[in-house]
Amino acid sequence: MRSCVMKANEAFLPADRRFRLPIFFLLLFSSLAQAVHWDIATVFLGAEEDETFQSDVDSNILELARLSPGDSYRLSLYRELRGRQVAYFADRNSLELHPWDALFFKSPVAGVEVPGRLREQVSMDSFLKEAFKDRAAHRILILYGHGFAHNGLRKLPLTSLQERLSKVLPTRAGEKPLDILWLDACFMASLEVAYELRGLSRYYVSSEDAEFSAGMPFEGLRLLENENSSVEEIALSLARGFVQSYSYLEEGSQRRAVFASSATISVVDSEKIEALALNMAALVKTFGGKLTEGQRLRMKNSRARRKTERADIVDLSAFVSGLKGLGSTPKAAREAAEAVLMLLDFHRPGKQSTARVALRPPSPDARLVFGYEQWSRGDQRDSEVLERLPEELKTTDFTQGPLGLSWPTVTSTAKKLLAPFLPGMRRFDYYFIGAEGEVLSEQQGLVRTQDFVVFEASSEHNPLRLTAYTQGIGSEAERYSGLGILDPTAESFTPAYGKTAFSKLSHWGNL
């Protein structure tokens, strides 16, 4: 169609201009094809961390080096090293990545100049200003380091992190400085952090519990080559790719990093986090601003608290559910708690998605004998499996069984519903024996078909657009609903917490 129009108009052009217009459009389209749509800045913190941490950073940088930034995205990288900082800046005139050798030097090399786009002794602030100087591009900032929830990143308290990024990130008229902020660190998917950083990015991505050192699967950034995807679609797709990369059943690229705990990820719409924070403030108010000693004791002992690997952090939805269920909870407080749970889609089915097996012992004195992977894993010699068994399957009793090996054995006096799986295990095998060791049932097996769950918001008002988790041990894989929060019964309220925007709004730490 385009060529036909050009030919029809040629008769009306002077002879010396007949070839100029096509060349002009060719140059214009070529220029547009080279336009950069996304600027990505990746910051690796932790200059003082040990060699294991530095090796993990090395692995992540090598993963980034395998990318091929081009028309769709540019990549800049910053690394803290002991006594120095090194930065790599994308070259908009080249699709080739400069060698990144300097990024791996653990100590300064005297007399060596770093050529080209690699620069030494660049502060993080100046790095961010240059990495995001194109005001027309979409922006992703990834911060990799140690996270401590409401306490912020190591050497960067939460309020300081917010103030620093607000100051140095180049602004954009009518928009937040970033499209996506990903804190590639432990425990940073918390209400306090999301609320504190709400002015920095449209979407905030982070993990609710301890995160594996492999961190974000950087190959997922190839999604940016699809120029038709919206910012929200990119954020959600990156998060899905995160949990999938830790899946054994999906043969994820980072599955070998998984040992015991879950990988969790959350995507928060920063425009909607204000409503959740206000609902939480209303909930605190209904309790008169403080739990009674009896309420605090019951919550402290409640299984509904669902702690993470940090003793002072609980899952927000589970904790609020526990508040609602307290026998002495005022009606207004129950209604306020319900409003929070409804906003977060906490009641939707699918939260308990770990595969289970219903055990029906053939006699009251029957004992359960079990193993994994068609009796190839989990025998008495297999400490890697035995050390990770769910609490209800931990045992010191073993019975000789399949393949002539000794298998773990537990008493099973009544019907049980177990979540027996471990990271990397696809099949749970079992049978029953009697008090004298006689076989009471045939061998049976349960094969699970998924080892991660992706849960998307059903309501447009839910600030948690996506939350997902993977692996875990037994039913512990189901303790995440997307956001953590300070456990007010843990008595860990600090002056620093009192300075956070969420604490000032809600007085949660005093609850």
With contact defined as beta carbons under 8 Å apart, do 390 and 335 qualify?
Answer: no
With vertex at residue 258, the alpha carbon angle to CA 81 and CA 308, rounded to the nearest 5 degrees, is: 85
Domain end, chosen from 401, 419, 447, is at 447
Instruction: Quote the pLDDT of residue 475.
Output: 64
Dist. CA 265–CA 454, nearest whole Å: 9
Token duo for residue 405: 């090996």
Same structural domain, 145 and 286: yes
Question: Which DSSP string do the residues of 150-177 spell out, in sequence order?
Answer: GG-BTTB-HHHHHHHHHHHSPPBTTB-S
- Verify that 187 and 317 share a domain, yes or no: yes
Domain closes at, from 447, 475, 503: 447
Residue-level pLDDT, tens digit, the chain, 511 residues: 333 323 333 333 344 433 343 443 334 334 444 455 899 999 999 998 999 999 999 999 888 888 888 778 889 999 998 888 888 887 655 445 555 666 776 665 554 445 556 677 778 999 999 999 988 899 999 999 999 999 999 989 999 999 999 999 999 888 999 999 999 999 999 999 999 999 999 999 999 998 888 899 999 999 888 767 899 999 999 999 999 999 988 999 998 888 777 889 999 999 999 999 999 999 999 988 888 888 888 888 776 677 778 888 999 998 998 888 887 778 898 999 999 999 999 887 555 566 778 888 898 889 999 999 999 999 999 999 999 898 889 999 999 999 999 999 998 766 677 888 888 888 999 999 998 999 999 999 988 888 888 999 999 999 999 999 887 776 666 678 899 999 988 876 788 898 999 999 999 988 8
Structure tokens at 430: 């079992």
- Of 257, 195, 301, the closest CA to residue 52 belongs to 257
Looking at the structure, tell me whether residues 275 and 331 fall in a common domain.
yes
d(CA 421, CA 298): 30
37 within domain boundaries? no
Length of the chain: 511
Give the per-residue pLDDT at 86.
85
- What was the pLDDT predicted at 229? 84
pLDDT at site 15:
40
The position carrying tokens 């959740």 is 276
140 vs 231: CA distance, rounded Å: 10
Q: Which residues contact 411 (CB under 8 A, 6 or more apart)?
A: 367, 368
What 195-198 contacts at long range (C-beta under 8 Å, 24+ apart), as own/partner pairs, is 195/273, 195/274, 195/277, 195/500, 195/501, 195/502, 195/505, 196/158, 196/159, 196/161, 196/162, 196/500, 196/501, 196/502, 197/161, 197/162, 197/165, 197/270, 198/270, 198/273, 198/274
Contacts of 116 (CB under 8 A, 6+ apart): 98
Confidence at residue 10, expressed as pLDDT on a 0 to 100 scale: 34
Using the 3D structure, point to which of 410, 426, 447 is the last residue of a domain.
447
The whole domain housing 291 covers 135-353+450-511
Both 362 and 500 in one domain: the answer is no
pLDDT recorded at residue 67:
85
State whether 277 and 336 are in the same domain.
yes
263 and 408 both lie in a single domain: no
Asked if residue 48 belongs to a domain, the reply is no
Q: What residue has token string 């849960």?
A: 455
One domain for residues 343 and 423: no
- Give the whole-angstrom CA distance, residue 336 versus residue 287: 10
Count of structural domains within the chain: 2
